[in-house]
Amino acid sequence: MDLGVGVRVLIIAWTDLETALSAVARIRHFVTTTPQERDAAGNHVDPLWPTTGSVEFRDLSASYAETSSPILCNINLAIQPGEKIGICGRTGSGKSSLIATLFGLLYNRSGYVFIDGISIDTIPLSILRSNIIAIPQEPFFLGGSVRKNLTSWSSESSGQHVSDADMIDALGKVGLWEKLDLATPPGETGLDTSLDNIDAMFSQGERQLFCLGRAILQDGKIIVLDEATSR
């Protein structure tokens, strides 16, 4: 190797190193300066929680920012296990915000939310969020296949395996399987269909039906539907 080649290799290695180091510095900055959610991580929770699914809002006031005025004021509501309730109110009245408090997404200014008699403040967020099934007002998709989108909530730690037959059954129940199956080339299954171009694939209402299918596959004591069939 002559000197010219040696210098060139050195310069390339040096610039690569600089690029890699600035990436590390950006990630470090992001990790150390991004505000973290409050979390009761580490608290022991009964692995069977919640066993019945009762929900109680007691004198709850909550806001979106720590210092802003509360969006929800002095809410008192007790929901018994197995009870189905509907919450009505004009647009902007706080229906979605009430649901968001169940997931620990708002700041509790005062009061409590109890699930099965345990204040959700004491439950680690990952456990809290994985135990409530939600169909949001705005359907969300991750890209990738139908299979991936139907089981995005499942992880090895959830211990819940979803079979192809269960997925097809859920899609059948919401009336989407036939459409997916017909659109699939021979040799593939509708579960492998890509949802990368969701606009061309499903209407707004069909996207909500897909989210309903996703919820059908989950096991849980509490399910919340935020205007899930509004379109």
Ligand X SMILES: Nc1ncnc2c1ncn2[C@@H]1O[C@H](COP(=O)(O)OP(=O)(O)OP(=O)(O)O)[C@@H](O)[C@H]1O
Give the binding site for ligand X (CB under 6 A): 64, 71, 89, 91-97, 137
C-alpha distances in Å from residue 170, one per residue of 147, 166, 191, 220:
12, 6, 12, 16
Site for Mg ion in 100-139 (CB under 5 A): 137
Q: Which of 63, 96, 154, 189 binds Mg ion (CB under 5 A)?
A: 96
Integer Cα distance of 55 and 60 in angstroms: 13
CB of 67 to ligand X, least distance (A): 12
CB closer to ligand X out of 27 and 87: 87
Token representation of residue 52: 């019945």
CB of 203 to ligand X, least distance (A): 20
CB closer to ligand X out of 34 and 91: 91
Please work out the total of residues on this chain that contact Mg ion, with binding judged by CB under 5 A. Answer: 3
- Asked whether the beta carbons of 214 and 133 are under 8 A apart, the reply is no
64 binds, among ligand X, Mg ion, none (CB under 5 to 8 A by kind): ligand X
76 binds, among Mg ion, ligand X, none (CB under 5 to 8 A by kind): none
CB closer to ligand X out of 98 and 168: 98
- CA 16 centroid distance within chain: 37
Q: Which of 30, 117, 25, 106 is nearest to 73 (CA)?
A: 106
197 binds, among Mg ion, ligand X, none (CB under 5 to 8 A by kind): none
Residue that is written with structure tokens 């040799």 in the block: 187
Integer Cα distance of 65 and 30 in angstroms: 20
93 binds, among Mg ion, ligand X, none (CB under 5 to 8 A by kind): ligand X
CB closer to ligand X out of 119 and 137: 137
71 binds, among ligand X, Mg ion, none (CB under 5 to 8 A by kind): ligand X
CB of 13 to ligand X, least distance (A): 46
- Asked whether the beta carbons of 54 and 117 are under 8 A apart, the reply is yes
Burial of 189 (0-12, 13-18, 19+ CB in 10 A): middle
